[in-house]
């Protein structure tokens, strides 16, 4: 009965569209009351959930992403990407994907990526003769790179939920899969562009290309600072986030100077709004996870899945299916905190490394962000383009196919994830 109250009340609250943080907190509290556990214990678990030192990196990463998004860095990344891939057929789609790859390495957020890149690229692609639904499809699917390519604050949340998995190794583990995902999407975009006869981009001269590269270099250095500092042991993840935020502030307001320092107030407000939502979800998810552990739900699910089959391939496919289905109905951060303690023991028992599973989970839940009914990135893309979700969902089929094929490769080829962290951080 207590498990039914915990899980059943959560789904009931989600069905009536109660905010996820309140749904998790209320479900945990109702279950505690039924079991006679003092509600003070729930409050204590919520506080403990946000006391982790690793979580201090999140506000700095969010702040750095907000600053760079407001300060013209998106336009510079698009121009830089245009120099590299813009001249081929369907070049604007590839520019869109490559820009998302670069911006994902700065903001670490799929939604931020779509908001910043999409507001520029979707109207531009439509003006150049691309179908509107295709422009949205490219924008939102390429933004899934943002949750894989470091720095991703969702990886930090996973690290905490997984009991302290190395953030540095997680960051390194996301680089190769993130880049290969971008290349896969560019290959698909090129195929569709040839099939639909989308236009080629204009060739950019050498002089102008060098000017664009020079102009975008300082912005791209943000990602280099973050990754280089962590990889070579100069900073912890938290310290690199703080340094990145300071660097982004200086570059945006004193070098590029496209926005006034007065606008920094708006950046701080947006950062605080995002941070408050993230931390509220982390706190209540921690209380919910405590109740699941108290009721031994993770052990029961592990035993059930292993009891169904001991075949590694079948278990991993089943775990992916569970994550995909959950990603369609729940937000990413709470799902990481809830699902990690349940599914990580299952996959480690069949020989999957926690680093690899972290990247697999990021991609699964990233796909959830572009899938109805709760795909926040999907909603943002449709809002920017002024197009219905139903139309986008239908035209996304080839992109979904590519993402699912890539997910299977990521699941069954560990070297894609583990080679780089094992090589650089032995």
**Tens-digit pLDDT profile for residues 258-298:** 778 888 888 888 888 878 887 888 888 888 888 877 887 76
Question: Which residues fall within 8 angstroms of residue 372, CB to CB, at 6 or more apart?
Answer: 328, 378, 389, 393
> Does residue 355 register a pLDDT over 90?
yes
CA 362-290-172 angle, to 5 degrees, is: 25
How confident is residue 105, by pLDDT bands cut at 50, 70 and 90? low
Separation of alpha carbons 386 and 376, rounded Å: 15
- Specify which of 5-9, 51-55, 405-409 reaches the highest per-range mean pLDDT: 405-409
Per-residue pLDDT, averaged over 123-150, amounts to 86
> 373 or 308: whose pLDDT is higher?
308
> Does residue 379 register a pLDDT over 70?
yes
Helices 39-49 and 20-35: crossing angle, nearest 10°? 140
How confident is residue 426, by pLDDT bands cut at 50, 70 and 90? low
Question: Which residues fall within 8 angstroms of residue 210, CB to CB, at 6 or more apart?
Answer: none
Share of the chain above pLDDT 70, in %: 96
Token look-up 């289905």 returns: 325
> Does residue 127 register a pLDDT over 70?
yes
**Contact (CB, 8 A) for 53 and 242:** no
Of 281, 31, 299, the residue nearest 160 (C-alpha): 281
How confident is residue 373, by pLDDT bands cut at 50, 70 and 90? low
> Does residue 182 register a pLDDT over 70?
yes
How confident is residue 163, by pLDDT bands cut at 50, 70 and 90? confident
CA 233-237-243 angle, to 5 degrees, is: 90
Per-residue pLDDT, averaged over 40-62, amounts to 82
> Does residue 28 register a pLDDT over 70?
yes
So what's the pLDDT on residue 161? 84
The encoded tokens of residue 259 equal 């926005």
Share of the chain above pLDDT 90, in %: 12
So what's the pLDDT on residue 146? 81
Per-residue pLDDT, averaged over 329-347, amounts to 83
How confident is residue 369, by pLDDT bands cut at 50, 70 and 90? confident
Residue 12 to residues 7, 9, 305, 426, Cα–Cα distance (Å):
9, 5, 25, 46
**Contact (CB, 8 A) for 341 and 294:** no
- Rounded to the nearest angstrom, the gap between the alpha carbon of residue 59 and the centroid of all alpha carbons in its chain is 15
| pLDDT tens, position by position, 3-26 | 888 888 888 887 887 887 888 889
Alpha helices in 369-396 (DSSP H): 376-385, 389-395
> Does residue 193 register a pLDDT over 70?
yes
**HEC profile of 60-124:** HHHHHHHHHHHCCHHHHHHHHHHHHHCCCECHHHHHHHHHHHHHHHHHCCHHHHHHHHHHHHHHH
Separation of alpha carbons 371 and 130, rounded Å: 22
> Does residue 358 register a pLDDT over 90?
yes
Q: What is the mean pLDDT of the chain?
A: 83
Of 151, 143, 146, the residue nearest 171 (C-alpha): 151
Per-residue pLDDT, averaged over 352-360, amounts to 93
Of 194, 273, 266, 251, the residue nearest 76 (C-alpha): 251
pTM of the model as a whole: 0.81
Of 362, 156, 105, 150, the residue nearest 278 (C-alpha): 156
So what's the pLDDT on residue 180? 92
Locate the DSSP E strands across 227-382: none
The encoded tokens of residue 197 equal 């006869």
Per-residue pLDDT, averaged over 81-100, amounts to 82
Domains of the chain, by residue range, sit at: 2-424
So what's the pLDDT on residue 356? 93
**Contact (CB, 8 A) for 343 and 319:** yes
> Does residue 357 register a pLDDT over 70?
yes
Q: Which of 51-65, 112-126, 224-238, 312-326 has the lowest mean pLDDT?
A: 224-238
> Does residue 145 register a pLDDT over 90?
no
Residue 96 forms beta bridges with which residues?
none
The encoded tokens of residue 34 equal 């039924």
**Contact (CB, 8 A) for 86 and 351:** no
């Amino acid at each position: 009965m207590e498990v039914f109250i915990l899980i059943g009340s959560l789904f009931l609250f989600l069905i009536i569209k109660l905010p996820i943080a309140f749904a998790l907190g209320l479900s945990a509290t109702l279950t505690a009351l039924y079991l006679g556990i003092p509600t003070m214990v729930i409050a204590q678990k919520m506080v403990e959930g946000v006391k982790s030192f690793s979580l201090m990196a999140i506000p700095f990463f969010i702040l750095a992403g907000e600053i760079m998004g407001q300060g013209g860095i998106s336009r510079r990344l698009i121009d830089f990407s245009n120099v590299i891939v813009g001249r081929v057929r369907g070049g604007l789609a590839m520019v869109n994907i490559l820009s998302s790859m670069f911006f994902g390495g700065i903001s670490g957020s799929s939604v931020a990526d779509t908001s910043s890149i999409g507001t520029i690229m979707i109207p531009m692609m439509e003006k150049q003769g691309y179908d509107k639904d295709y422009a949205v499809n490219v924008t939102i699917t390429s933004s899934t790179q943002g949750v894989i390519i470091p720095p991703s604050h969702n990886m930090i949340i996973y690290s905490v939920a997984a009991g302290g998995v190395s953030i540095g190794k997680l960051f390194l583990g996301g680089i190769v899969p993130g880049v290969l995902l971008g290349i896969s999407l560019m290959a698909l975009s090129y195929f569709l562009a040839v099939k639909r006869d989308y236009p080629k981009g204009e060739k950019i001269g050498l002089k102008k290309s060098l000017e664009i590269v020079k102009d975008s270099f300082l912005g791209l250095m943000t990602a280099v600072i973050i990754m280089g500092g962590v990889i070579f042991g100069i900073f912890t993840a938290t310290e690199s986030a703080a340094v990145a935020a300071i660097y982004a502030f200086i570059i945006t307001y004193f070098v590029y100077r496209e926005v006034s320092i007065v606008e920094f107030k708006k950046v701080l407000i947006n950062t605080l709004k995002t941070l408050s939502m993230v931390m509220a979800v982390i706190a209540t998810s921690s209380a919910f996870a405590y109740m699941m552990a108290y009721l031994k739900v993770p052990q029961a699910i592990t035993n059930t899945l292993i009891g169904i089959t001991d075949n590694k391939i079948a278990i991993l496919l089943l775990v992916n299916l569970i994550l995909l289905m959950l990603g369609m109905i729940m937000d990413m951060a709470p799902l990481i905190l809830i699902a990690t303690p349940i599914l990580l023991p299952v996959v480690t028992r069949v020989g999957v490394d926690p680093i690899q599973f972290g990247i697999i989970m990021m991609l699964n839940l990233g796909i959830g962000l572009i899938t109805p009914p709760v795909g926040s990135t999907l909603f943002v893309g449709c809002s920017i383009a002024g197009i219905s979700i139903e139309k986008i969902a239908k035209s996304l089929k080839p992109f979904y196919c590519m993402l699912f094929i890539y997910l299977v490769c990521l699941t069954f080829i560990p070297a894609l994830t583990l080679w780089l962290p094992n090589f650089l951080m032995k």
